[in-house]
Amino acid sequence: MIVKFLASFSFLVMAVLFAGVLSKVSSVVETRFLRKLSAREQRIILIGGTVFLESCLVMLLAKASEWSYIDSLFVASLLLLALIWLPAYFRPYQENASRTIGRFHRGLHSGEIDIHKSGSRHPFFIGTLIFCTVGLLTVFAYYFSYVT
């Protein structure tokens, strides 16, 4: 019991420290490098960095799971696609449910009901969408000969 608690606590501490280090690295990169570039160059670098990081994560997944790279690419593309699409899809639903409850129980009017808007133009979203699209097309092209 104590061993599980200590393992969980140490994992939590490592996660918080990792988030802090990542925040510090992000602020240093932004202040020293990205501010010197135009907005378009910043977007291109962030999109390219996102695609590169996700490619590295797929390679790590392939090594850790002992799957082939193409299978890892398929799984990672589906998971990343769900990661960028599902929160954007369900956020308006949750907001509308909260507004409806507030209006019904308290008589509060907190705004109009929103419809689903797909995605954003954030570099992470665009980079992940590019990676997933290219990844799924690559997997489809690779396995197409098995289907026909």
pLDDT in tens, the chain (148 residues): 788 888 888 988 898 888 888 788 878 888 888 888 888 998 899 899 999 999 999 999 999 999 999 999 999 999 988 888 787 777 777 777 777 777 777 766 666 665 656 556 778 888 989 999 999 999 999 999 888 7
pLDDT digit string, tens, across residues 77-113: 999 888 887 877 777 777 777 777 777 777 666 666 6
DSSP for residue 37:
S
Least Cα distance to 61 among 46, 52, 74, 50 occurs for 74
Start-to-end CA distance of the chain, whole Å, equals: 55
Instruction: Report how far residue 78's alpha carbon sits from residue 65's, in angstroms, rounded to the nearest whole number.
Output: 17
Domain ranges of the chain: 1-36, 46-147
